[in-house]
Structure formats: C-alpha cells, structure tokens
C-alpha cells in the first residue's frame, strides 16, 4: 500500500485530486468511482477548480457512486444523488446521463442492486475509486459484521453510522435505516483505489488496516488484498 501523509485536510484533498486528475488526463473516457461524506468535499472542490482552469475535462467521463440511502428521493437534500450534483456534477462539464448513484426510490431494491452490479461489470470496472471510511472502518456502507458481502446489496445501517450521520439530518429518527451499497467485490472491480482519511477519530480503523490482518469487524482491512491502494491521510490519523 502506498501511503501519503499530509499535514492537513487541504493537502489531503489536493494530493487526492492530483492523482485523480492524472487518471482523467491519461484516459479521458475513464470510469470514476465516487464517494460522499465530508471527506471528499475538498477533493471535489479541487476537481472543479481544475476543470474550470481547463486542466481536466469530464466530457467523456462516466461515474459510479458507492452507495445511497434507502429509501430516499434524489430531491431530498440528504440523498447522495443530491450531494453529488451539489458538490461536483453541477459545476463541471460532465454529462449527467453518464453518472450513476444507486436508486434510493427503486420499488425492488434487490433488483436495483443486481442492475447496479451488472452495470459496473458492463462498464469494464472502475479506473479509480475514491473511498472514505467510517469511524467503525466501514467502506461504502459495508458495515462491520461476521460476513462481508461481495456484490452490491441492501444493508441495514449500524447504530454507530446512524448516529454519525445524524449530524446532517434534522434528527436521528430521520436517518434512513437502510442503504444500497457496492459490496467488497464491487469495490475490488476498481483497478486503483484512493483511500482518504482525516481526523483522529478514525485512528483505530486505520491502525486495523495497517496491522495487515483481515478483520470483518473492520471492513477496510479487506483493502490489504487489493494490488493498488493509496492511503492519503492526515498525520493525526497515524499518531
Ligand atoms: P465522512 O464519512 O467522510 O463524513 O467522515 C465517511 C464514511 O462514513 O464513509
């Protein structure tokens, strides 16, 4: 695993954006795997700046997002579709028809997960996937459990994730209890992974990753099996 230690959030965001920009420049019709949450917001700001400066174009880019709450409407300002539009897609030259987020309104969520997995395969996988982690070491919404699921699936959110994400909702009761998420195998369809982590509250999860063991109670430890992961983190994560 490559590790890039940054002095703060802004440097982590810039370094991650530079890696992504290289992928886009090298393959203009690439497939980018996107993530939501507070971690990648600075990365997206940098990509918008590079796009406006003419350094990169999203004209031929396709994107797939990791996950979405279920049920949730795309017009809900807490949905991940809304987040992506607001944080990136509305500000760059991307064709929104080429952007995918699991459908939080699907009548049959299991069928939607099958469709999503198939779509990732038909795209030929993902050129670079951005990942954040939860305090509990989740990636996407692959929560700590005795078993981890390979394909895109419907999952129940853990109490820890509901509590962590309640900061964005009017109250904890408003946080959806389920989500549609890429599985560990879907994430492994990415040829390259950028794992972004900042904040001392994520130290335990990163320490599990760097212990070079596999622990389904820390889903991010599965990334030890992937051949091309770059951890871009702030120094406080490693203290
Ligand atoms: P955060 O969430 O970036 O808001 O900390 C990341 C995650 O839960 O995967």
* The pLDDT of residue 239 is above 90: no
What pTM value is reported for the model? Answer: 0.97
Across residues 31-47, what is the average pLDDT? Answer: 98
Give residue 118's pLDDT: 98
Question: Among 12, 34, 36, 219, which is best to mutate for testing ligand 1, by the most ligand atoms less than 8 A from CB?
Answer: 36
Tell me the per-residue pLDDT of 158-216, one tens digit each, with 9 for 90 and over.
998 899 999 999 999 999 999 999 999 999 999 999 999 999 999 999 999 999 999 99
| Fold observed for domain 2-137 | Rossmann fold (3.40.50)
Q: What is the model's pLDDT at position 102?
A: 98
pLDDT tens digits for 52-103? 999 999 999 999 999 999 999 999 999 999 999 999 999 999 999 999 999 9
pLDDT in the model for residue 183: 98
Kindly report, residue by residue over 94-136, the tens digit of the pLDDT.
999 999 999 999 999 999 999 999 999 999 999 999 999 999 9
Tell how far the Cα of 39 is from the centroid of ligand 1, in angstroms.
6
Domain boundaries, the chain: 2-137
Let me know if 136 is a catalytic residue: yes
**What is the average per-residue pLDDT within 138-146?**
96
For the chain, give the secondary structure using H, E and C. CEEEEECCHHHHHHHHHHHHHHHHHHCCCCEEEECCCCCCHHHHHHHHHHHHCCCCCCCCCEEEECEEEECCCCCCCCCHHHHHHHHCHHHCCCCHHHEECCCCCCCCHHHHHHHHHHHHHHCCCECEEEECCCCCCCECCECCCCCCCCCCEEEECCHHHHHHHHHHCCCHHHCCCEEEECCHHHHCCECCEEEEECCHHHHHHHHHHHCCCCCCCCHHHHHHHCCCEEEEEEHHHCC
């Amino acid at each position: 695993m490559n590790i890039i230690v940054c002095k703060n959030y802004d440097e982590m965001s810039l370094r991650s954006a530079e890696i992504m920009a290289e992928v886009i420049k090298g393959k203009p019709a690439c497939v980018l795997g996107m993530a939501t949450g507070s971690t990648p917001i600075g990365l997206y700001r940098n990509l918008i700046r590079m796009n406006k400066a003419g350094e990169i174009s999203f004209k031929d880019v396709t994107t797939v997002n990791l996950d979405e709450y279920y049920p949730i409407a795309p017009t809900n300002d807490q949905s991940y579709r809304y987040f992506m539009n607001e944080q990136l897609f509305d500000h760059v030259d991307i064709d929104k028809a080429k952007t995918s987020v699991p459908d939080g309104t699907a009548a049959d969520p299991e069928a939607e997960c099958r469709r999503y997995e198939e779509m990732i395969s038909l795209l030929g996988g993902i050129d670079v996937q951005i990942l954040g982690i939860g305090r509990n070491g989740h990636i996407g919404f692959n929560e700590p459990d005795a078993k981890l699921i390979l394909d895109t699936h419907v999952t129940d959110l853990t109490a820890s994730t509901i509590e962590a994400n309640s900061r964005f909702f009017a109250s904890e009761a408003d946080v959806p209890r389920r989500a549609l998420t890429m599985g560990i195998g879907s994430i492994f369809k990415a040829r390259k992974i950028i794992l972004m982590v900042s904040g001392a509250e994520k130290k335990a999860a990163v320490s599990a990753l760097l212990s070079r063991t596999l622990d389904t109670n820390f889903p991010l430890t599965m990334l030890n099996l992937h051949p091309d992961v770059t951890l871009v983190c702030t120094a406080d994560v490693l203290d």
